[in-house]
Amino acid sequence: MTNRDYANTRPTRKGKAKTKTTRRKSQAPAPRRFPLVLLLVTLGLISGFGYFLWTINNSAEELDEKEAPVVEQTAAKPTQKQDPKALPPKPKEEWTYQQELLNKQVEVDIPEVTAPTHSYQMQCGSFRTRPQADQMKAVIAFQGLESDISKVRGTTGDWYKVSLGPYDRKRQAEKHRHILQKAGIDGCFLMYVKK
């Protein structure tokens, strides 16, 4: 097998053979012709734009002169002469809503406040032994919250549940849960409790 140096070789074009140019370096390129068509098109566009500007030069003044007699007939008295460019007189403002609001009475139906039919309780742990539950209760107490330990008999034996509450509003329970999350207690969850 032969070793070839691919890094220092120049690639060849496939499909095209190398052709040498017969042009000499001393020959200058042919002089370019003046673009006569481009000049004619440019002059035509400039003259057309100039004609357009000349035709609309006084059109605004002519429009004001045509509309001026209409304004004089409707806004001015026949005995007075008025400037054709003057504005019509300011109309008199008549607002009645201020007097209506002074005498207005608003009636609002306020629903009766009913006591919630359920409350919320937050459980933060369930342990097999009482000392583990007491330890969780102490951690919660260091956060400024009060918790309870209840003994529950399950199918696999006795469990000690650490819970907070009951809360009448979910917002207060969520607030306490966020306080416990900041302290590193992430296992708390909310439960509905019927009253």
Collapsing DSSP states into helix, strand and coil, what is residue 29? coil
Q: What is the pTM of this model?
A: 0.42
Collapsing DSSP states into helix, strand and coil, what is residue 165? strand
Tally Cβ neighbours within 10 Å of residue 132.
Answer: 14
For residue 183, which phi and psi values (nearest 5 degrees)?
Answer: -85, -5
Rounded CA separation 133/127 (Å): 6
Pairing of strands 148-154, 189-194: unpaired
Per residue in 10-63, pLDDT tens?
766 666 555 555 556 667 777 888 889 999 999 999 999 999 998 888 777 776
Rounded CA separation 121/190 (Å): 6
Per residue in 74-132, pLDDT tens?
544 555 666 788 888 888 888 888 888 888 888 888 888 777 778 899 999 999 999 99
Strand order in the sheet with 148-154: 148-154, 157-167, 118-127, 189-194
Q: What is the pLDDT of residue 76?
A: 47
